[in-house]
Amino acid sequence: MTRSVIELRPDASDIRVARFATAAIVLSLAEAAIPLPLPGVKPGLGNIVVLIVLWRWGWRDAAWVALLRVFAASLLLGQFLAPGFFLGLSGALASLCALGAAMHLPRRWFGPVTASLLAAFAHIGAQLVVARLWLVPHDGVFALAPIFALAALVFGLINGLVAARMLAELEACGAPS
């Protein structure tokens, strides 16, 4: 009998993704404890982590962190494969597309705030579409669109500012990229 050992050697990128995904998951869990007036209106604190990873290490790592966060946080909260999970997953995928586009904008003019706002609007857009097609097959869900959009505006701005601030501090203390 041959002994076969499969050895997985995590490289620097794997460790980084794991570390940041953990931070994002913790923020998602903390956020789940905040009472909110409407299902779906959330600050999305985990997106701060995704933004930082995107800005410093690129889209691939950011996608890993965002998707790991969606899966792990939903497993921990008992929401895995529940409607909320699919809404979150569709929102995460849409905001990753938006972030992919946003990171190609000239950085001199567009900072993390733009990326955060675009991601937030893509997030609620995708969630509304999925909710309309699947959960509430009636145009009535769109009556919530202005509330979701306002939340995306406010939280997108705040998350973007926090991410920009943390990126500036990371740069100031010369963290290796």
- Say how far apart CA 162 and CA 167 lie, in whole Å: 9
In angstroms, what is the minimal distance from the CB of 169 to another protein?
Answer: 8
In angstroms, what is the minimal distance from the CB of 117 to another protein?
Answer: 5
Nearer to another protein, 24 or 113 (CB): 113
Binding site for another protein (CB under 8 A): 105-106, 108-114, 117-118, 121, 142-143, 145-146, 149-150, 152-153, 156-157, 160-161, 164-165, 168
Nearer to another protein, 53 or 113 (CB): 113
Angle CA 122–124–130, to nearest 5 = 100
In angstroms, what is the minimal distance from the CB of 110 to another protein?
Answer: 4
Nearer to another protein, 30 or 145 (CB): 145
Nearer to another protein, 102 or 130 (CB): 102
In angstroms, what is the minimal distance from the CB of 101 to another protein?
Answer: 12
In angstroms, what is the minimal distance from the CB of 161 to another protein?
Answer: 6
Nearer to another protein, 88 or 125 (CB): 125
SS3 4: coil
